[in-house]
Amino acid sequence: MPVSPKLPPFDPSDPLGIDDLLEPEDLAVRDTVRRWAADRVLPHVAEWYEAGELPGIRELAKELGGIGALGMSLSGYGCAGASAVQYGLACLELEAADSGIRSLVSVQGSLAMYAIHRFGSEEQKQRWLPPMASGDVIGCFGLTEPDHGSDPASMRTYAKRDGGDWVLSGRKMWITNGSVASVAVVWAQTEDGIRGFVVPTDAPGFSAPEIKHKWSLRASVTSELVLDDVRLPADAVLPEVRGLRGPLSCLSHARYGIVWGAMGAARACFEAAVDYARSREQFGRPIGGFQLTQAKLADMAVELHKGILLAHHLGRRMDAGRLRPEQVSFGKLNNVREAIDICRTARTVLGANGISLEYPVMRHATNLESVLTYEGTVEMHQLVLGKALTGLDAFR
């Protein structure tokens, strides 16, 4: 009679045993980012959020560069060359601290650096990628406009030729890192279609006023980009792409990071709810001993770890070169939606304390309201999947 193997103990922090799917190098990346976030973000982030600012962002960027978190899934030019799964784990740990910190890294690496790395000239790569990877240069990505968010094909920012130069005019809105960036990747209409431009932010006519009065992503720099006849040399254009394929491929890469990151915010809220339920007493015993509270915690754990498993699956597909944009939409749609539900349920476990910045729950919940709609709204991802499922285009 065969002997049953001894089962490992149940791990409440990893109930599905997902860590068994990770390599030692994956765990090392995760632990490095987790320690950095615990040391440099968590002690201060509630204060930053309440003040609506991210002080010392340039120092934070250099530290993130020092641990290899900027452009980490890119190869060469000072980038870490990490796997997609390792990048995802980093996003999860960063967003477990705060969505604004993950956004800083995501915009730098998955949007600005990714665009230059994939579509730039060798000269552009050599000039910009090494200092961006080290965090000495911060970048931003200008696609969304005040009147054109989900419809980038209708953008009004325009670049025209003037002799050997390009002249850019227009406005971009809701741009992370904009006011502190030294370089902006800006997408504009041209007579040859949509093109991307690498714009030094000290160019005459460029300005980036910071957007104030936000009630979400408050520990993040968000800006408007104003381009008032910004003159650029001919070699400022990204030479390897024309049309919407360029910015949309960058967005797909960034959305992949969100699939992981949203689960970081959800995990932070879930852990806060579990800790609170174990210690908060009502009617003579901890509320974690009541059936209704346990039901909430069980449902939160199921959706959290299903979401992490989904992110891991998509990461393995990306590493194998098999990840489709529709699958990224699947992940973002599910994981952000479930993360918000986890945060809201955690708030009910904490009761009135759930709205206090002494706990992370309300901060994550409000941040996720932005994550829900940026880089593709719920409706856009539903239509992407609807088209893939039916073969019928509902965008038109």
Q: Which residue is it, tokens 């098999």?
A: 322
Cα–Cα distance measured from residue 42 to residue 268, given in angstroms and rounded to the nearest whole number: 11
In the chain, the amino acid numbered 115 is: A
Contact predicate 261/371, CB 8 Å: yes
Q: Which residues partner with 170 through β-bridges?
A: 227
Angle between helices 245-279 and 325-350 (to 10 degrees): 20
The pLDDT score that the predictor gives to residue 57 is 96
DSSP 113: I
Residues 369 and 262 in one domain: yes
Would residue 375 show up in a list of annotated catalytic residues for this protein?
Answer: yes
Cα–Cα distance measured from residue 136 to residue 63, given in angstroms and rounded to the nearest whole number: 10
Domain-located, residue 12:
no
Element (H, E) at 42: none
Per-residue pLDDT of the chain (396 residues; tens, 9 = 90+): 566 678 899 999 999 999 999 999 999 999 999 999 999 999 999 999 999 999 999 999 999 999 999 999 999 999 999 999 999 999 999 999 999 999 999 999 999 999 999 999 999 999 999 999 999 999 999 999 888 777 777 889 999 999 999 999 999 999 999 999 999 999 999 998 999 999 999 999 999 999 999 999 999 999 999 999 999 999 999 999 999 889 989 999 999 999 999 999 999 999 999 999 999 989 999 999 999 999 999 999 999 999 999 999 999 999 999 999 999 999 999 999 999 999 999 999 999 999 999 999 999 999 999 999 988 889 999 999 999 999 999 987
Contact predicate 267/309, CB 8 Å: no
The pLDDT score that the predictor gives to residue 152 is 76
Residues 263 and 361 in one domain: yes
From the number of C-beta atoms within 10 Å of its C-beta (0-12, 13-18, 19+), residue 344 rates as middle
From the number of C-beta atoms within 10 Å of its C-beta (0-12, 13-18, 19+), residue 102 rates as buried
Residues 187 and 260 in one domain: no
Residues 254 and 343 in one domain: yes
CATH number at residue 218: 2.40.110.10
The pLDDT score that the predictor gives to residue 2 is 64
Closest CA to 130 of 72, 57, 76, 62: 76
Last residue of a domain, one of 184, 219, 243: 243
Length of the chain: 396
Domain-located, residue 1:
no
Cα–Cα distance measured from residue 82 to residue 71, given in angstroms and rounded to the nearest whole number: 9
Candidate list 95, 145, 338, 375, residue with the active-site label:
375
C-alpha dihedral (326, 327, 330, 331), degrees to nearest 10? -140
Domain-located, residue 9:
no
Produce one character per residue of 62-96: b if its CB has 16 or more CB atoms within 10 Å, e if not.
eebbebbbbbbbbeebebbebbbbbbbbbbbbbbb
Cα–Cα distance measured from residue 334 to residue 313, given in angstroms and rounded to the nearest whole number: 14
Contact predicate 173/224, CB 8 Å: yes
Residues 206 and 237 in one domain: yes
Last residue of a domain, one of 71, 102, 134: 134
The pLDDT score that the predictor gives to residue 15 is 96
Residues 339 and 325 in one domain: yes
Residues 322 and 347 in one domain: yes
Cα–Cα distance measured from residue 50 to residue 215, given in angstroms and rounded to the nearest whole number: 10
Q: Which residues partner with 226 through β-bridges?
A: 171, 207
Contact predicate 361/348, CB 8 Å: no
Domain-located, residue 125:
yes
What the block records as the tokens of 378 is 């719920």
CATH number at residue 258: 1.20.140.10
The pLDDT score that the predictor gives to residue 3 is 62
Q: Within 13 Å of residue 389, how many CA atoms lie on the same side as its CB?
A: 10
Cα–Cα distance measured from residue 276 to residue 132, given in angstroms and rounded to the nearest whole number: 40
Residues 112 and 130 in one domain: yes
Domain-located, residue 362:
yes
Look up the domain containing 211 and give its range: 139-243
Closest CA to 166 of 64, 237, 66: 237
Cα–Cα distance measured from residue 253 to residue 235, given in angstroms and rounded to the nearest whole number: 25
Residues 353 and 291 in one domain: yes
Cα–Cα distance measured from residue 391 to residue 336, given in angstroms and rounded to the nearest whole number: 25
Last residue of a domain, one of 134, 165, 183: 134
CATH number at residue 125: 1.10.540.10
Residues 334 and 321 in one domain: yes
Cα–Cα distance measured from residue 234 to residue 40, given in angstroms and rounded to the nearest whole number: 41
Domain-located, residue 171:
yes
Residues 224 and 167 in one domain: yes
Phi, psi for residue 244 in degrees, rounded to 5: -70, -15
Residues 250 and 360 in one domain: yes
The pLDDT score that the predictor gives to residue 65 is 97
Q: Which residues partner with 225 through β-bridges?
A: 172
The pLDDT score that the predictor gives to residue 52 is 95
Q: For the chain, how many structural domains are there in total?
A: 3
What the block records as the tokens of 12 is 């409440």
Model pTM score = 0.94
Domain-located, residue 7:
no
Contact predicate 90/36, CB 8 Å: no
Domain-located, residue 382:
yes
Closest CA to 104 of 176, 4, 163: 176
